Amino acid sequence: MKKSISIGMSMLVIAGLAGCSGDNPSAEEKETLTWYTTAGYSPEAPSAATSDYISENIESFEKEHPDMNIQLSLQSSNIDEAMARLLEQANTGRAPDMAAIDGYMLDRYKEYLQPLDELMEERGLDPDDYLPFAEKVLRGDDGKIYGLYMSTDTRMLYYNKEVIEEPPSTWEEVIEVSNEVQKEGYEGLVLPLGIGEGTSVTSLWPLFWSQGGKLVDKEGNPVFGKGENREAMIRTFETLDRAQEEGAVSKRMASSGRENDANGEVAAGDTAMFLGGSWQAVTIEEILGDDFENWEVASLPTIEEDDPTVSSAGGWAWGIFTDDPEKKEAAFDFLMDSFISEEGMGEFTSIQGSLPARTSVYESDSYNPGAFNDEFLTSLETEAEARPGASKYNEISVQLQTAISQVISGSKEPEQAVDDAWEIVTFGESGESE
Amino acid sequence: MWDTPYPWLIPLLLVLAAVFLYPILQIVRLSFTDANMIQVGYDYTLESYLRMFTLPGFLPMIGTTAFFVFFSVVFQLFAGFIVALLIVQGEKMNLRGTVVVRTSVLVAWAIPGVVIGVIWGMLYNETDAGIINYALSTIGLGPVSFLSDPTMALLSVTLANIWRGTAFSMILMYAGLKTVSKDVLEAAVIDGASALQRMKNVILPAIAPIILVNLIIISIDTFNTFDMVMALTGGGPGNSTEVIALSIYTAIFREFNLGEGAATAVVLLVVNVVMTLVYLKVLGRRGEE
């Protein structure tokens, strides 16, 4: 008897873990829909508004789908770690039915994700409604859509218009303006140039991309250290290094690796401009109170006046892994209603203070636009690019963050730093490092 | 057979094999592969080791770690001993507050490394919001680039680690000092030994075994430190504060490179084991003499 109970229990556990992907023992029993998400997009969210919103959505989903039961499992707060774990699960056939995926990494999961074109058509979701960069991320090589982009962000130059009349549009102007405002007792340009992903996406990639540089080729192999790409990367490094040497950027930026590090600088009161993410507008508003009125955003400065402005966009997408048609549809319904429909995305991104990934949502009544909404939308529509989803990306990013931090702190020259990063990233790949 | 203690040790051996030996063997095995956390499957190769030993960055990392560990250990031992000695002397003189001192020093030991990193980060902050720089500015000095200058950053991280480790060192030294026989000390006084002579010929030899244990523990602890460094500098600027343990974390969790991370972990394991053996051999023998 004891034995049969324990066998029964283990079966239950196994069925729960596997998300009931096998035959359903009985039509009356509930199916479990496994949901792997970050705490911020779950009922466990630290913000009460988010938590309530998602809990309500789960409740109404379970009411509409009495045969389905959502089983939540939370991702580690370390995104890289969480994404690696999800990939490992997908690799070994243990993927959850649906999961939150860091937007730019979606490409790595496409071979395990379900195409959603038919379901999108049924629910009237037009892929063209997605912001251009997001649609590019979602679309697979076969032209099908493999995910649902939910929220996004972009990087811009924030500046205090009381101090700076005209925002600098090139780095030449950045140096000029910085030196001027420093005479009035303000800091130069604040931007992340230390170890952290913020350095890559805010300070390095936009400059590199705007010169036409490519980090990886179509197959995902690193190319940033070859030919014209190498030239563009060295120029990016030299530009930032020159800004530091001419006093426009403080050397201490070499120890700041996140966009949010600028929040503390702004709070200290002597910052006149910084490069940051769109989500920071809310925090800066809280910090500055009424003084926030004096702040504006502008496109990121480029090296040459004729270079196109490029920004990098991030954000999160949802992917559906289950191939069980019923569960796939249920998962789609849940995600659509909670995060993707005009109403869902509008409400959710308003609560989160993030930006919608669909253009139509910006016009929706459910969306409550925050400060600089129009500027952010223009940036997303015309300037934004996503990081490459290549598996080598993380190593490239970490090595180049280290490299620029070495340059700014004065321990390496730009060319040497770029070449060393290239040597590390391409070690053992025949012919690559030549 | 049941008369011997060996059968009773079997459960312990099994547990040790499962939670200690097996993971170590796995790490060693993984270090000879090109495994990463993004793709399934891997091949056996020596590339991780070749990569580690030949790429720019390995020697600076060893240098950084050696500096960090050497100065951390020396000053933790020294400061721990001084604090312990002060407390023991205070107790002898029936001074009030020795328990408070002991407890408050202990607090430093109880704080998680990440929190220590954040606290020291506030102290070292290079804007006017930074506590030390603010204090310096009031007397017309600074600002000092505590975290953005490569050399200063390494010094700053080492100092924070000395602060963190002194508490533990003090506990062991205190325990050691309490075991020094009062009779022998009194005899030394009667024989006319000066304070320095008592320290050199009575106290230090008596607590030598404790110092050895302390040395081994704090050395290994410092070699394995990564949480505080990660929170304080993330290894930067550049890789000027990237100690071996942090490099393992970066390789595995930021670059997803399991093979290379495992190879670096094996190097750290070898360093720890060799260092312990040397301590035991050199200091252990002296202790016996």
Give the gap in angstroms from C-alpha B40 to the nearest C-alpha of chain A: 6
End-to-end CA distance of chain B: 40
pLDDT for A5: 42
B47 contact residues in A (CB cutoff 8 A): 427-428
Domain presence at residue B4 = no
Could you give the ipTM of this predicted complex? Answer: 0.83
Distance CA A386, CA A73 (A): 27
User: What was the pLDDT predicted at A434?
Assistant: 37
Would you state the pLDDT for residue A28? Answer: 55
B68: in domain:
yes
Specify if B3 maps to a domain.
no
Mean pLDDT score, B183-191: 89
Of the candidate CATH numbers 3.30.43.10, 1.20.1260.10, 3.90.1150.10, 3.40.190.10, the domain formed by A32-146+315-385 belongs to 3.40.190.10
Q: Which DSSP category does A131 fall into?
A: -
Buried b (16+ CB within 10 A) or exposed e, B26-51: ebeebbbbbbbbbeeeeeeeebbbeb
Contacts of B239 in chain A (CB under 8 A): 402, 406
Looking up residue B39, the CATH number of its domain turns out to be 1.10.3720.10
Where in chain A are the domains?
32-146+315-385, 155-311+388-425
User: How many domains, chain B?
Assistant: 1
Which residues in chain B have their CB less than 8 angstroms from residue A408's CB? 148, 237
> Testing the interface with A: which of B42, B254, B258 to mutate, by most A Cβ within 10 A?
B254
Which tokens belong to A382?
């015309």
Specify if B78 maps to a domain.
yes
| B5 inside domain | no
Residue B2 has what pLDDT? Answer: 66
**Residues of A in Cβ contact (< 8 Å) with B253:** 78, 80-81, 84
> For residue B58, what is the nearest residue in chain A, using CA coordinates?
A424
Residue of B153 and A78 predicted with greater confidence: B153
Domain containing B38: what range?
Answer: 13-288
Taking the CA of residue B145 and the nearest CA in chain A, the distance in Å comes to 7
How far A195 CA sits from the closest chain B CA (Å)?
6
CB A263 within 8 A of CB A287: yes
Between chains, do B234 and A91 touch, taking CB under 8 Å as contact? no
Q: Which residue matches tokens 């020259």?
A: A413
pLDDT of A94 = 92
Q: With contact defined as beta carbons under 8 Å apart, do A254 and B238 qualify?
A: yes
Provide the H-helix boundaries in chain B.
Answer: 6-16, 22-31, 47-54, 58-92, 98-110, 113-124, 131-138, 150-179, 182-190, 195-198, 204-223, 227-232, 244-249, 258-288
Interface of A with B in 398-427 (CB under 8 A): 398, 402-403, 405-406, 408-412, 420, 423-424, 427
- Minimal CA separation from A412 to chain B, in Å: 9
Interface mutation target, options A393, A409, A423, A427, chain B, most CBs of B under 10 Å: A409
For residue B219, how many other CB atoms are within 10 A of its CB? 21
Can you give the pLDDT at residue A217? 94
Of A88, A395, A409, Cβ closest to residue B150: A409
- Measured at the CA of B156, the angle between CA B154 and CA B157, to 5 degrees, comes to 65
Measured between CB atoms, does A77 come within 8 Å of chain B? no
Interface contacts (A, B; CB < 8 Å): 116
Distance in Å, alpha carbon of A30 to nearest chain B alpha carbon: 33
Chain A nearest-CA distance from B240, in A, is 8
**Across the interface, do A196 and B37 touch by the CB < 8 Å criterion?**
no
For residue B8, is it within any domain? no
* Rounded Cα distance, B247 and B235, in Å: 8
Q: Using CA coordinates, name the residue in chain A closest to B232.
A: A255
**Superfamily of structural domain A155-311+388-425:** Periplasmic binding protein-like II (3.40.190.10)
Whether the pLDDT of residue B185 is over 90: the answer is no
pLDDT of residue B193: 87
In A311-350, the residues whose Cβ lies within 8 Å of chain B are: none
Inter-chain residue contact B129 with A420, CB threshold 8 Å: no
pLDDT at B35: 86
Task: Give the nearest chain A residue to B143 (CA atoms).
Answer: A252
Binning pLDDT at 50, 70 and 90, where does residue B82 land? very high
Helix (H) or strand (E) holding A59: helix A48-64
pLDDT at B286 (0 to 100): 61
Q: Does B51 sit within 8 Å of A81, measured CB to CB?
A: no
pLDDT in tens, chain A (434 residues): 444 444 444 434 444 444 444 444 444 578 899 999 999 999 999 889 999 999 999 999 999 999 999 999 999 887 877 888 898 899 889 999 999 999 999 998 999 999 999 999 999 999 999 999 999 999 999 999 999 999 999 999 999 999 999 999 999 999 999 999 999 989 889 999 999 999 999 999 999 999 999 999 988 899 999 999 999 999 999 999 999 999 999 998 998 899 998 998 888 788 999 999 999 998 899 888 898 999 999 999 999 999 999 999 999 999 999 999 999 999 999 999 999 999 999 999 999 889 999 999 999 999 999 889 999 999 999 999 999 988 889 899 999 999 999 999 999 999 999 999 999 999 877 544 43
